[in-house]
Structure 1
């Protein structure tokens, strides 16, 4: 019987496709030693949180640029090219009767203006030049006419109303300064996040290392105990306890290895690193010897933190709402225009035979009876301003209190870290001594297990205390925007960053 080669080839491909993934060779990981400072640098450059903070800064930057542009002269061009009408309109004749007349004409117009906001009055000053052209059809002959305004100076000024431009000049710089401070604080918060992930991985690796060492020790002690049991120097209960210790050590190692992989994936993902890298964190061997004074920390925070800009901005916005409500009680506007104009069927004469062109208009809108509506709006705005003022006082007090607690926690953490370091060294020496004592049969397995537990907990506590130190340190940096180790403020070239 002959076998179709094509069928065999398809069968081979199907079997290869259905092979379990576990049978395929595992992808090898490339070890990469990572220090805390390197992790911080990568997080600030590559993390999604850093990109989000940069996006918010750019949005605030262009909003501020738009505000600044509104204060500068603006050149505008407007035109209708063309407008054609062929319709009938009502027309009143000299005897009072009405009739309909036919319109059949085309018009074109264009104007160029230079507009400038007057920030200290809230008005607008415009310098304009324009040209209009109209040609009429359906009269037996084609008639056309030009009208030019070579130059016209126009002032549009609201009187007694709120000057929004003046208020924006006070509020918008604070808003942008607040956004800059928020960006710097967000960058420090990115550091706090990567510190947490870094020490989680560091602790996970330490747990794996402890579990492996404990498993080796448990297996070694179990072998010694079995020899002693054969010689009758140890009880059956102690031997069984040591065998149980071996099983527990293996279970703990498996769980810790799984936790290590999870924490490594989290840190790699946050730093935007490849999945083929095996990150090996390095335990920081030193910390900056810093002792903080609360009043100095509070002073730096009030100088640089976004809360100082935020409080002032919100107070000004509440004041602006009150001024706006008061300005809405009456509306008076001034419109004035002076210039020259010319009109003729010949284009050249529209610019040679000039006539003056002047317009002055004052508009007034004052409510006679509004049943207290506008007065009520003023009272509501004033009440809201008082509410905002009390909220700001409370937020400032809460900010100072939380900063006091954080400063005390940081100063206390220095002592806690030193105590944890000494306890770790003592627990290691105690465990080693207990192992040697157990081998000569002078202590029980319970005492040995207690020493081992104390050793492991002391090591974990030291790493946790080290994490708390760095976390508190960068938390204070994020609030004060001040580097207390270098005694310099935390700043950035924002023009360069937003490009």
Structure 2
């Protein structure tokens, strides 16, 4: 085995063995890395749990609009106490209360979204048994009763919730898809970091092999006096430096691979070999189309709408709190008897109507001040959202411009890389016949290395710009389809 092969094998040994076990090599494409990240990464799991929180909050809001059936009661309530009692002559005495009570009732409650009130249909039965000497039972029935609670001038919470909660849930769904697309961007970054590290390692290994070969040739040339001692020492130094760069490149590649494995949730025994992806089909994006898709799908637009609605709600609440008028009405029937069989006979009407009023006569402008604060906060939010919208539009414009220009940048980088590699190969051949010096050779090598790295970086930017636009618009411009998900299925798994 040649010296070159022994050196390279020694440098690669840490890659093939980890704790004495052989690694399993997996050729990974960019598409596969994205798919694995969306399924297995921690960031994807966090996004899913945030979606579940928003889903159940929205389900709770929906449930508030439906009738609610409740049962309440005490089974039993035992009472054995002394109570103060005023007699007919004005004096006081204490009497013993010794009783056992059992109560139970069923109610159907319904919020009224139109008015913000609440209506309840109730039915109940109470038993009170007097214990001790002469014990007896007393029943009271309430077979049917209707209760209405209605704020007259206060804020209608139900109405505002019906405006805000659907927008909040739509925002959460869009945010979930954006988080998944954010996972995609992280996967792309990790993939290209490893790909660049892998290419740097290949470059370093090739440079080492070339440096050793050139040094061996230089030794022979020195013996016949074709090169100087200084040039020989420079080639020897280049070979030593190339060994160090291989070791450094190997360490960087191992670190990048560990990071990508960790992000994708792969085992430590998996050796990832990223495959260089092709560029996307050549096409240009239109700024106005991208902006329209972003306004339609992105959580940003829904976030602005929600914040504006919440600001309006805060103002309405502050105005409603300046005075309070509430209506409480209860209508029904009730009956009492010492026998259960007769408690539902001879029912009597039962009615309660109350109108509660709370109007401050002098509060030194406190409630008015709260209204002004809420209105000022609303103006602040409107100003902020206008500025945020301008920044949002500007970011989209720059992304579209960068993407449209990136195809040209990638093409230039690819051509430059091909030329630089061809030049380096020619430089080696020319150096071997003594037509160029070591400085020209080193310059050709440096240009070749930088050109290869530049091509990988430009390819990364091309994919990164595209997926950034996709994550903002939640729209796939290749398939011409909106990014969506089966949210009901996702949150229930």
30, 42, 46: which one aligns with 1:48: 42
Q: For 1:83-108, what per-residue CA distance to the aligned partner results, in whole angstroms no more than 9, with x for missing partners? A: 11122222233343333222111111
374, 377, 381: which one aligns with 1:388: 381
- For residues 25 and 84 of structure 1, what CA distance do their matches in structure 2 show? 72
Q: 1:97/1:328 Cα in 2 relative to 1: closer, same or farther (>3 Å)?
A: same
Partners of 2:148 and 2:330 within 8 A in 1? yes
Q: For 1:427-465, what per-residue CA distance to the aligned partner results, in whole angstroms no more than 9, with x for missing partners? A: 111111111111111111100100010001000000011
Partners of 2:18 and 2:269 within 8 A in 1? no
**1:266 aligned onto 2:241:** no
Partner of 1:150: 143
- For residues 150 and 41 of structure 1, what CA distance do their matches in structure 2 show? 61
Aligned length: 476
62, 66, 77: which one aligns with 1:72: 66
Q: For 1:54-111, what per-residue CA distance to the aligned partner results, in whole angstroms no more than 9, with x for missing partners? A: 0110111111111111111000000011111122222233343333222111111111
Q: How big is the shift at 1:24?
A: 10
Partner of 1:89: 83
Mean CA deviation greater in 415-424 or 404-413? 404-413
- For residues 305 and 27 of structure 1, what CA distance do their matches in structure 2 show? 47
Partner of 2:285: 292
Divergent runs of 4+, >4 A = none
- For residues 252 and 18 of structure 2, what CA distance do their matches in structure 1 show? 24
Q: Where in structure 1 are there 5+ consecutive unaligned residues?
A: 1-22
Partner of 1:454: 447
Name the SS for the 2:331 alignment partner: strand
- For residues 120 and 333 of structure 1, what CA distance do their matches in structure 2 show? 16
Partner of 2:30: 36
Partner of 1:415: 408
**1:101 aligned onto 2:111:** no
Q: How big is the shift at 1:189?
A: 0.6
Name the SS for the 1:498 alignment partner: helix
Partner of 2:245: 252
Q: For 1:339-375, what per-residue CA distance to the aligned partner results, in whole angstroms no more than 9, with x for missing partners? A: 1111101112111221111111111111111111111
**1:221 aligned onto 2:211:** no
Q: 1:150/1:24 Cα in 2 relative to 1: closer, same or farther (>3 Å)?
A: closer
Partners of 1:290 and 1:484 within 8 A in 2? no
**1:319 aligned onto 2:315:** no
Partners of 1:290 and 1:485 within 8 A in 2? no
Q: For 1:293-323, what per-residue CA distance to the aligned partner results, in whole angstroms no more than 9, with x for missing partners? A: 1111111101000011100000000000000
Q: For 1:19-61, what per-residue CA distance to the aligned partner results, in whole angstroms no more than 9, with x for missing partners? A: xxxx997211111111110000000000111111101101111
Partner of 2:11: none
Q: How big is the shift at 1:467?
A: 0.7
**1:375 aligned onto 2:372:** no
**1:129 aligned onto 2:123:** yes
When the two chains are superposed, the root-mean-square deviation of aligned CA atoms in Å is 1.3
- For residues 18 and 162 of structure 2, what CA distance do their matches in structure 1 show? 66
- Write out aligned runs for 1:129-278 (5 A): 129-138=123-132, 140-278=133-271
Name the SS for the 2:343 alignment partner: helix
Q: For 1:382-408, what per-residue CA distance to the aligned partner results, in whole angstroms no more than 9, with x for missing partners? A: 111111111111111111111111111
Q: 1:291/1:25 Cα in 2 relative to 1: closer, same or farther (>3 Å)?
A: closer
Partner of 2:111: 117
- For residues 174 and 36 of structure 2, what CA distance do their matches in structure 1 show? 21
- For residues 90 and 179 of structure 1, what CA distance do their matches in structure 2 show? 60
Name the SS for the 1:353 alignment partner: coil
Q: Where in structure 2 are there 5+ consecutive unaligned residues?
A: 1-16
Q: How big is the shift at 1:285?
A: 2.5
Partners of 2:279 and 2:459 within 8 A in 1? no
Partners of 1:302 and 1:308 within 8 A in 2? yes
TM score, norm. by length of structure 2: 0.95
- For residues 356 and 259 of structure 2, what CA distance do their matches in structure 1 show? 66
TM score, norm. by length of structure 1: 0.94
Mean CA deviation greater in 129-138 or 451-460? 129-138
Name the SS for the 2:291 alignment partner: helix
Name the SS for the 2:139 alignment partner: strand
- For residues 203 and 209 of structure 1, what CA distance do their matches in structure 2 show? 10
Partners of 2:279 and 2:463 within 8 A in 1? no
- For residues 281 and 145 of structure 2, what CA distance do their matches in structure 1 show? 69
- For residues 18 and 225 of structure 2, what CA distance do their matches in structure 1 show? 50
